[in-house]
Every structure is written in C-alpha cells, then in structure tokens.
C-alpha cells in the first residue's frame, strides 16, 4: 500500500483541526440553545402557574358583585401567593376602552407598602403590583419600566385569546418571561407575572461560553497559522522537488535555501551530496581516461606482434613482385607493380586503423536529429550494398526522449565519431550478409536510462556466443582479409560517449548494438 506524502498528511491534519473546530462550535451552540430553551420552558411554566394561582386566589377572595377592583385585596393576594414563589413578581391589569391598545404610557407610581391607602385606578390599566421576594429592602411596588413592553404584549395576547399565555425576551443574563391569565368571573381583569430564566449552562454559563469561545478562537487562530505554515511548507517542498526532478538531475546545481529549518537541512545535505557527486564524477572521468590509456599501453606489446605479422606478409609479397620485375621473369611489369601497389594499400590501411585505435577519441558534441543522421549515414553504403545485392533498410522508431522540452527529438553526441562507428558496423554487416540478404539499421530511444540505441542487423552466419566479447578486441576478425580493428574502434567511440557496444541476441544472423546516453555531456 502506497503511503501518502508528508505534505498531504499535514493538509489532512489541518482539515481535521478545522472540522473539530466546527464541531466544537456546533456543540457549544447546541448546548446553549438547548439549555436556554429548557430554562425558558421551566420559567414559563412557573410563571403561568403563579399567574393562575394569583387569579384563582383573588377570584375566591372577593365577591364579584361590584365592578370596581379591590386593590388592597389584590396586593394581599399578590403578597400571599408570590412570597411562596421566589424571584417571581406580578400584578393585576384592568382592561377598559383602549387600555390594551398599542399605546404603552409610562405607569404611574403604585401604592406604597401594604396597609397604606390605595390611590385611584391608573389610566394605563395597571391596578396592583408586588414583588415580595425582592432582594432589596422591603416589598417592591414600582412596576419595572424595562419590562413594561413585554408585559403589555403578553396581556394583549391573553386578552385576544382570553386564556393563559406567556412570552419571553432573551437577555444577557438569561431571558425575561412574562405570563398573563384572565381572572375567573371577569372579562376585563387579568393577572400577570414576571420572572427571569436562569442563564444558559448555569449561573456561570456566560463565563463558560466566553471561555469556550476564547479556546475555540485560539484553536482557529492556530489552525490558520498552521494553514499558512503548511502552504509555505508545500511551496518550498515543491521548489525542492523541482530542483531534484529528473529533468534537472543531469545538470544538478546548488539548490538555494528556502528559510525552513528542516528543509534547509535536507537542502544542505543534497548540496553536499551534489558536490561530492560532481567531484566523484570528475575523479571517475579522470580514472576512466587513465584506465583507457593503461589499456592502450598494455596492448602495445600485443599490437606490436600483430602489426609485425600483418605487415610482414604484404611486404614479402611486394618484395617478391619487385624482384620479379627486376629479373624480367616473363610477367608483365605493370601487372607486378599493380599487385605490389595493392599490398602497399593494405599496409596503409592497417597502419591507419592502428593509429586511429591507439589515439584517444576526441568528441565534438552537437545536437543531432537522429532520424536524419541515421538515414544519411546508411545512405553512403547503399551502392556497396547494391553491388552485393543486399537490401539495406533504415528503421527509426518514434523518438520520445524523457526531456522533449530541452531539444525536442534531437539527441546530443559527436556525429562524426558516431558515423565512424556506424560505418564499421554497416560494412561488416554487408560483408557477412549473403547475396540477396538483408541488412537493417535501427534507431530508437529507450525509456529505461534515457538512452539512444542503434542496432545493425544482418542475416549472415552470426557470431558464436563464445566470441561475442572477444570480437571487439583489436586484430580479432572473422575474415582472412580483415584488419580486426573496425569493431575495436566501435567500442572506443561508444565508451567515449559514456555508452557501450555489444552483440545482442537474435534468432538468426548477427545484431551489433551501440547504446549511448541520449544527451552526452563532455
């Protein structure tokens, strides 16, 4: 199972924090609303119960034969009933004319303490008021001004329905609940009560909610800071990934620091590795050059013996022909001289190939269109192939390098040196192909390793498996008239480009392959 990236893990963690914050905010809001509803429901039930008790007690305590309300009895009933219900205040209201209209005049001062003379009925309809459990001094007799609109609204609703009703207004410390109910036996007299519901989540609910809000805000701020840091981290990480991408691996330079302590440690380690890698590559190149030189010097002894053998026979033939010319042995002088000239040309070819092999290959890099180059190189041998009735074909697969944005479909190598190597392979293939045979030159880009692969295939006798490595050594040849230096040159050119030359498996005939990097840097 593929593990998700570290940046994705951080993003998921940030999303989890955000979800937790939203859930916590939802839970707090739900608890607040639920407890507030419960407190209002409890307070409304208590308020309605107290209101109905006041109305019933007043109805039982007086005779309803007169139209004028008995304010003294009202105060007595209010004091008697409300003293048993803490934190509930109330009064009586008389409805007449437009008393319950939308007008809400300020209530006049109510009578003083119990036992005093009751003033005339107030024009706004408030007949009596009492708050016996008031925490101040004595019984409170002045109607609360702030809650008057709520009381009047509740009384209007009770008058329209002629039934017990309640209404509430939320406040900072809870909610204010007013209840109104009709007095039995009267169509114009109503009792009302007023209480305050406790704050949601208890006495210290607002402190708890404030604390939770502060904590939630802190979490949100932390999540925001984490999101900004994550965004910056991912941006810097993407820059580091681009710096280490395969497109820039061939020309890896020192990566700049991004300001993140952890990433800078990685960048410093990568830069140190890149410096060591470059130094190692330089040492490897120097050692490779020295190794090639050592191999050349080690082969000098063997080459000297091979050269002496290869040149002695042609020189002997030249000497014999010249002696025949001088002795006038009956042969035409021109024929003897022509034969001697051919042997001299053979010696010249051996010496030229030997010099090319013993001298290091110097590369001159250029950007080359592979398809055009292969076609042109193979075209120079079509006449020779036609003379032997050999079908010479060129096959170029669609070239799709790993970095098409760098040079399109063009590779980078030395076209002259590579042409030398390819010429040797094509000439060998034409020589070994039977009359009417086939020789194919194939070029393709290999995705593995980003390599250019050039293969020359013929349907000749092929190369024995035991000779496939040895065939690239100098003076190893399968033809009596061959120099044995062509394939050695092919190997040298491939090695100079950082690649290799080898014999590949094939069903019939021989397949010689040159593999070099698509972009060779020298």
CATH no. for residue 381?
3.30.565.10
- Specify the pLDDT at position 53: 93
Q: 215 in a domain, yes or no?
A: no
Query: Is the same domain home to 296 and 349?
Result: yes
Least trusted range by pLDDT, from 181-185, 222-226, 433-437: 222-226
CATH code of the domain containing 156? 3.30.450.20
233 confidence band (pLDDT: 50, 70, 90): confident
121 has a pLDDT exceeding 50: no
151 has a pLDDT exceeding 70: yes
Q: Which residue has the higher pLDDT, 514 or 112?
A: 514
Highest mean pLDDT among 211-220, 408-417, 482-491, 500-509: 500-509
398 has a pLDDT exceeding 80: no
Q: 481 in a domain, yes or no?
A: yes
Query: Is the same domain home to 319 and 392?
Result: no
DSSP 283-343: HHHHHHHHHHHHHHHHHHHHHHHHHHHHHHHHHHHHHHHHHHHHHT-SS-HHHHHHHHHHH
Question: For residue 395, what is the enclosing H or E element?
Answer: strand 391-396
The structure's pTM equals 0.40
Query: Is the same domain home to 513 and 404?
Result: yes
Q: 477 in a domain, yes or no?
A: yes
Query: Is the same domain home to 272 and 392?
Result: no
Q: 438 in a domain, yes or no?
A: yes
Q: Write out the two tokens for 183.
A: 């007095």
Neighbours of 71 (CB within 10 A): 19
Neighbours of 217 (CB within 10 A): 12
Neighbours of 55 (CB within 10 A): 27
Q: What is the mean pLDDT of residues 293-322?
A: 62
The answer for residues whose C-beta is within 8 angstroms of residue 516's C-beta and 6 or more apart is 413, 418, 451, 452, 494, 497, 498, 499
**Domain span at residue 87?**
6-206
Tens of pLDDT, residues 330-383: 555 666 666 666 666 666 656 655 555 555 677 888 999 999 999 999 998 998
155 has a pLDDT exceeding 90: yes
175 has a pLDDT exceeding 70: yes
pLDDT above 70: percentage of residues in the chain: 68
Q: 327 in a domain, yes or no?
A: yes
**Domain termination residue (choose one: 360, 390, 409):** 360
Q: 397 in a domain, yes or no?
A: yes
Query: Is the same domain home to 373 and 383?
Result: yes
Query: Is the same domain home to 52 and 168?
Result: yes
Q: Which residue has the higher pLDDT, 413 or 136?
A: 413
To 5 degrees, how large is the angle CA 386–CA 388–CA 390? 65
Query: Is the same domain home to 81 and 138?
Result: yes
Number of domains composing the chain:
3
Q: What is the mean pLDDT of residues 50-66?
A: 80
**Domain termination residue (choose one: 328, 360, 392):** 360
Query: Is the same domain home to 123 and 272?
Result: no
Query: Is the same domain home to 388 and 435?
Result: yes
43 has a pLDDT exceeding 80: yes
Query: Is the same domain home to 443 and 403?
Result: yes
Query: Is the same domain home to 56 and 193?
Result: yes
Q: Which residue has the higher pLDDT, 252 or 467?
A: 467
Q: What is the mean pLDDT of residues 104-115?
A: 40
* 305/301 Cα distance (integer angstroms): 7
Tens of pLDDT, residues 240-262: 777 666 555 555 567 777 776 76
Q: What is the DSSP letter of 403?
A: -
Q: 479 in a domain, yes or no?
A: yes
- Specify the pLDDT at position 356: 57
Q: 237 in a domain, yes or no?
A: no
**Domain termination residue (choose one: 318, 335, 360):** 360
34 has a pLDDT exceeding 70: yes
Query: Is the same domain home to 346 and 477?
Result: no
């Amino acid at each position: 199972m593929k593990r998700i990236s570290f940046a994705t893990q951080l993003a998921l963690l940030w999303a989890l924090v955000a979800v937790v914050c939203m859930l916590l905010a939802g839970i707090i809001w739900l608890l607040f609303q639920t407890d507030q509803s419960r407190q209002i429901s409890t307070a409304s039930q208590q308020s309605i119960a107290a209101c109905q008790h006041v109305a019933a007690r007043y109805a039982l305590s007086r005779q309803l034969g007169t139209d004028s309300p008995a304010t003294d009895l009202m105060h007595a009933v209010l004091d008697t009933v409300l003293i048993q219900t803490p934190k509930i205040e109330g009064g009586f209201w008389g409805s007449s004319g437009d008393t319950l209209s939308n007008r809400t005049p300020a209530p006049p001062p109510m009578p003083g303490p119990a036992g005093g003379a009751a003033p005339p009925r107030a024009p706004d309809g408030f007949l009596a008021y009492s708050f016996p459990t008031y925490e101040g001094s004595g019984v409170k007799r002045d109607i609360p001004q702030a809650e008057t609109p709520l009381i009047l609204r509740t009384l209007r609703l009770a008058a329209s329905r002629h039934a017990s009703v309640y209404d509430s207004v939320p406040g900072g410390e809870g909610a204010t609940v007013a209840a109104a109910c009709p007095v039995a036996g009267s169509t114009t007299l109503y009792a009302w009560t007023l209480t305050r519901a406790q704050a949601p989540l208890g006495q210290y609910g607002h402190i708890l909610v404030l604390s939770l809000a502060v904590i939630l805000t802190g979490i949100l701020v932390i999540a925001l800071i984490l999101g900004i840091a994550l965004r910056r981290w991912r941006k810097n990480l993407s820059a580091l990934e681009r710096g280490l991408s395969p497109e820039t691996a061939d020309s890896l330079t020192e990566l700049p620091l991004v300001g993140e302590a952890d990433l800078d440690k990685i960048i410093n380690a990568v830069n140190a590795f890149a410096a060591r890698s470059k130094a190692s590559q330089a040492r490897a190149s120097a050692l490779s050059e020295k190794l090639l030189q050592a191999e050349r010097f080690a082969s000098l002894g063997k080459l000297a013996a091979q050269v002496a053998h290869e040149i002695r026979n042609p020189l002997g033939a030249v000497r014999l022909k010249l002696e025949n010319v001088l002795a006038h042995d009956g042969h035409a002088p021109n024929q003897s001289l022509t034969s001697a000239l051919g042997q001299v040309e053979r010696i010249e070819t051996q010496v030229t190939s030997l010099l090319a092999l013993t001298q290091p290959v110097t590369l001159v890099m250029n950007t080359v269109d592979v398809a055009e180059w292969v076609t042109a190189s193979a075209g120079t041998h079509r006449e020779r192939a036609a003379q032997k009735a050999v079908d010479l074909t060129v096959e170029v697969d669609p070239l799709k390098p790993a970095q098409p944005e760098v040079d399109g479909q063009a590779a980078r190598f030395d076209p002259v040196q590579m042409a030398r190597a390819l010429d040797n392979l094509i000439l060998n293939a034409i020589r070994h192909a039977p009359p009417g045979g086939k020789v194919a030159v194939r070029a393709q880009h290999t995705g593995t390793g980003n390599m250019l692969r050039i293969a020359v295939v013929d349907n000749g006798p092929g190369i024995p498996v035991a000779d496939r490595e040895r065939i690239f050594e100098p003076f190893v040849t399968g033809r009596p008239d061959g120099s044995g230096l062509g394939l050695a040159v092919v190997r040298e050119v491939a090695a100079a480009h950082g690649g290799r030359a080898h014999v590949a498996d094939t069903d019939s005939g021989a397949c010689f392959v040159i593999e070099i990097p698509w972009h060779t840097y020298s």
